Structure 1
Amino acid sequence: MTSFDINSIVKDIIPVRLERYLLSTGWIENGLINVKAKVWHRPEEMYFDLEILQPINEGLKDYSQRLYEAIRNLSEYENRSLLKVISDLKNFDSDIVKIRVISPDVEGGAIPIDDGVLLFEKAKELLVSSTLSTFKKKRFFSGSWPAVVKEFMNTLRFGQTERGSYIVNVIAPVSHFSEKEFPEADCSITRSISNNLARSLRATMVALENYEKTNDLISFEGAVSSGVSANLCDAIIGMSGSSKSRDVEISIDLAASEKDSQEIPRKHRFTTSHIPILSTASEYFKGNFVIKNYEASGLVIRMDHEPTEDFGVIRVTSTVHGTNKNISIQLSLDDYWEAVKAHKPRLPVVCQGELHVTPRSAFLADPRNFKVINDVDLFDEQS
């Protein structure tokens, strides 16, 4: 191996990073050699003769060669490839989010150019959504980013891609900001965001599994408090490709420089069968959804009827998943006039159908079984 090759391999590894890595993995410092190198040994008796010489003076002519030899010895002890150990040393102070897309068309380590661009864009959106939800839990994020989010996103970088279908690495150096509203004071902002991403991915998977069993949109409701949002769902959907034909696996490798005792699953795989459900969840979080066999009940607050028409439209105020909505219902004239009679005495009405909800409106399609609830009906129900 030439000196150029060696310099290229070790150029980003500073002495303090190798030293911190050795300390974190149990090596013990046993003195100096002419202030040029530190001597490290293992504490185990079986490795008593094993030694690593860590060069500490970057001005030495053979510094790169000595550093390479130290890392090679470390690689032999750990029984891992030299490149893997070097990668861990370079990223010792960084959390890494690995996004792997899985499909026969990317097994060779290449990806169609449009889907490649989309993958990198959505990888960024994944980190944006996780950063935003670390500070505030919302169903859907829009508008400009807070300053602390911009500051953190500016620290991120894309690492070298990997084969294994196709893998994108997002490197997040451990950062400490002076943010008054920082959510977890006992760790770095990077670790807080990484943990939030891990929790939100787990909550997304739980919500998907519940929805598959129940087909009930309420399955997604509890996930918001764990950091799940429409933005997160859209990022995963986009990473599956323009044809939504690839599985997406997201894993989080934590920086060895920052200890973490939280037991959160850090690898999740979303299959192509999950993508339509993620689309449903995204629309739900944005306020666009349909509830089949819904029974709207409440007071009539508005009535509209044109003399030339054989129907009338009423609006009923009702609560939908914890939110007050004014639901429009088109009724036959017989039912419409019954609703008119119910308006002044403030009698509630009920009607079944398919509820279509948007952020600004709600209407009941295919209305049926319209009924005015009077005092007698209430008495009968209670009895």
Structure 2
Amino acid sequence: MTDTNTVTRAELIAVLKKSLWSLTGRGPVGEMWTSPDKSSKVGIPFELEPRDREWESVIERVARAHVISNADLMRRIETLRFDVTEFRVDGPEWEHSVPVEAGFNLFKTARQVLRVSATTSRIPKVAIGGGFSTTGDRVLERARFGQTREGSYIVPLMVPIVERSEVNDSNVELKQESPVFEEAKLGHESDERRATRTMAESLSAVSNSIIERASVPTASQVNDLVYAGVSRELLNTLSEVISKPRVQTFEAKFRWSELLADLSGNIASNISIPSDAGQLLSESARRFKPQATPKIETFTGPIVQLRDEEIVTHGYVTIETNRNGRQVELQIRVGDEQLADVHEWFKERETVRTQGTVRRVAGHLVIDHPAELTLLRDSLLFDGETN
């Protein structure tokens, strides 16, 4: 298994590249890197490691060039390969410590929210019971808790998104072998990223569709929430964490790995749930009961391919999704009237939702006449339906 706790020179170099530093010189023992505005130069030895005395000097000079603290730069380097969710509970004068029950429950909540999301990211479920996904639990096994931070008590949950691989760097004259990062596969969403994306989207759905509406969802609205990754277990977990004595707010803040393409800007990066929502979430959870399997299947996922030819009046969009617990690509026929919207969704890396009857054609899964093709977030904008 990949070591997810070791910071190397590779992470430092990757941060410099992401920050538009340029390699301006190379010698027998190291490289010279120059800041984007040419005002700073930093020499980085090939064999540099965090335990070396030179490491602190390099970090200090790079941080000074970015006008940030050494701690903030190190946090960026340490979490480069991870999607990080900062879970936080707020209470009266809780800056340096929290009551034992609140602290214990915060760690438990972070673990449960990731486990639930990793399962519903593969198979949307109204209630999981004991049916947690094996693949999802592998995501949980690889995740780590970072160091707790002050600020009404913050616990970072780190999910490794990008693997390291040992390769030969042909650009290094001495032909040293050094760890570098595998490029993210375009159009492919790993189990880990799908789990963290679903975690953000499901918490956002709870906030927007239950808490802001201050209303228990109807049966049809429950179905919409399920396909956004919400489950009975998620609601019960959230209800429990904010119902502890003296807890005023629960918050989840998402920070995505810089090594993958950006997610849609419409995915919320910060979710806050007040303590007075505990009863509402508990009542909502009781509405999440297993239903009969619908004849029309529902899928959600990011768009990975779009085909639009001028000679025909329709196109095809392909999403990456899960069906019967397996990751698959699903082609959906798109009418001419919706192609302009789909082009924009593809450009903005949106998550979509579709419904329809699936058939297999030449090894491909296809929906010829979707009953629905819309943005996942728009599908959660409930109308005036009452309970």
1:17 has 2:11 as partner: yes
Q: Give the distance between the partners of 1:233 and 1:215, measured in 2 at CA.
A: 12
SS of structure 2 residue aligned to 1:284: coil
Does the 8 A contact of 1:29 with 1:39 survive in 2?
yes
Could you tell me which runs of 5 or more consecutive residues in structure 1 were left unpaired when the two chains were aligned: 1-10, 177-183, 288-318, 324-383
TM-score, with normalisation over the residues of structure 2? 0.63
| Structure of higher RCO (CA pairs closer than 8 Å, 6+ residues apart) | 2
Q: Identity over the aligned pairs, expressed in percent?
A: 19
Could you tell me which runs of 5 or more consecutive residues in structure 2 were left unpaired when the two chains were aligned: 164-185, 296-387
1:279 has 2:273 as partner: no
Does the 8 A contact of 2:118 with 2:133 survive in 1?
no
The amino acid that maps onto 1:87 is R
How far apart are 1:238 and its partner, in Å?
Answer: 2.3
How far apart are 1:205 and its partner, in Å?
Answer: 1.4
Does the 8 A contact of 2:210 with 2:217 survive in 1?
no
How far apart are 1:267 and its partner, in Å?
Answer: 0.6
SS of structure 2 residue aligned to 1:104: coil
Does the 8 A contact of 2:81 with 2:259 survive in 1?
yes
1:89 has 2:77 as partner: yes
The amino acid that maps onto 1:225 is Y
1:148 has 2:151 as partner: no
How far apart are 1:160 and its partner, in Å?
Answer: 0.8
Aligned to 2:119: 132
How far apart are 1:245 and its partner, in Å?
Answer: 3.5
What is the count of residue pairs matched by the alignment? 268
Aligned to 1:188: 190
Aligned to 2:234: 232
Does the 8 A contact of 2:91 with 2:152 survive in 1?
yes
TM-score, with normalisation over the residues of structure 1? 0.64
SS of structure 2 residue aligned to 1:129: helix
Q: Give the distance between the partners of 1:210 and 1:114, measured in 2 at CA.
A: 27
1:170 has 2:157 as partner: yes
Q: RMSD of the alignment, in Å?
A: 2.9
Moved over 3 A (4+): 213-221
Q: Give the distance between the partners of 1:26 and 1:138, measured in 2 at CA.
A: 43
One of 57, 60, 82 as aligned partner of 2:47: 57
- Bigger share in helix: 1
Aligned to 1:69: 57
Give the direction of change, closer, same or farther, for the CA distance of 1:80–1:49 in structure 2 (3 Å limit): closer
1:41 has 2:28 as partner: no
Q: Give the distance between the partners of 2:240 and 2:234, measured in 1 at CA.
A: 10
Q: Give the distance between the partners of 2:217 and 2:34, measured in 1 at CA.
A: 59
Give the direction of change, closer, same or farther, for the CA distance of 1:248–1:77 in structure 2 (3 Å limit): same
One of 76, 82, 103 as aligned partner of 1:116: 103
Q: Give the distance between the partners of 1:146 and 1:218, measured in 2 at CA.
A: 25
SS of structure 2 residue aligned to 1:31: strand
Give the direction of change, closer, same or farther, for the CA distance of 1:252–1:133 in structure 2 (3 Å limit): same
Give the direction of change, closer, same or farther, for the CA distance of 1:120–1:215 in structure 2 (3 Å limit): closer
SS of structure 1 residue aligned to 2:125: coil
